[in-house]
Amino acid sequence: MQGGKDKVHVEPIVSKEYCCESSQTILTIRRRPHVVNGGGFVVTNCSLQVLFRVEGCGILGTDKELVLKDGNGDCLLLIRQKGGIVQALSVHRQWRGYANNYEGAQRLVFTLKVPKSWLVKNVISAYVEPRKFHNKEWDFQIVGSFPDKACSIIDANGNIIAKVGVTKEEGDEISIMDVYHVVIQKGVDQAFVVGVIAVLDNIYGESTRC
């Protein structure tokens, strides 16, 4: 696996605006209490500037529905778990992230397929629109343990594009729950990475879950 090599580059998924071309980026994720704006979490950079906010069902009033906003509070993605009879019979649960196009209509940005046995397999696949790696069954995979804040997002070439972790100072039980970081390689769409983390947060019953 080629973790974090300089050649790692991913075309924009949500927007080029959220792809840093010069260097890798370290973002800090802080959970909000459920009594504050319905819970969710806030994402800041090293200057403590808020870059993203994620809101869960506490503020939306809808289970399995998340909103990713930029630092100004503008909506970037609406993320929903797909329902219906077909979904109930499937071996996977699907989460889909939608953005608005220039005409205001929703466009599908990514799909996460979570095996119903994901607690055992601990691997989640992601597909983006349009597909990045047509010779693979998936564009990205999430591997490792998100509850332990020790997981990575890898592309179909085996490159680590983002890695969730904690620093030594953050390494106590309370901090792991409330504050952790994600290292995102240069050229990678940070909004997409945060959207994936939002889904992981929800399926593991953390800050966005009611």
Question: How does pLDDT run across 31-80, given as a tens digit for each residue?
Answer: 887 665 567 899 999 999 999 999 986 555 567 889 999 999 999 999 99
Domain ranges across the chain: 2-203
Residue 192 pLDDT level (bands cut at 50, 70, 90)? very high
pLDDT of 96 reads 94
pLDDT of 137 reads 83
Identify the CATH number of the domain defined by range 2-203: 2.40.160.200
pLDDT of 161 reads 95
pTM of the entire predicted model: 0.85
Residue by residue, DSSP assigns 113-126 as: EEETTHHHH-EEEE
- 121-175 pLDDT tens trace: 568 999 998 887 777 889 999 999 999 999 999 999 999 999 999 865 544 555 5
pLDDT of 82 reads 79
- 68-98 pLDDT tens trace: 999 999 999 999 997 654 444 455 689 999 9
Which residues, including other chains, have CB under 8 Å from residue 3's CB and lie 6 or more apart?
152, 159, 160, 163
Q: Which of 32, 26, 34 is nearest to 51 (CA)?
A: 26
pLDDT of 115 reads 79
pLDDT of 1 reads 44
Check whether 26 has a pLDDT greater than 50. Answer: yes
Check whether 5 has a pLDDT greater than 90. Answer: no
51-59: Cβ within 8 A, 24+ apart:
51/27, 51/190, 52/76, 52/190, 52/191, 52/194, 54/194, 54/197, 54/198, 54/201, 54/208, 55/208, 56/201, 56/202, 56/207, 56/208, 56/209, 56/210, 57/208, 57/209, 57/210, 58/34, 58/208, 58/210
Q: Tokens standing for 90?
A: 């499937």
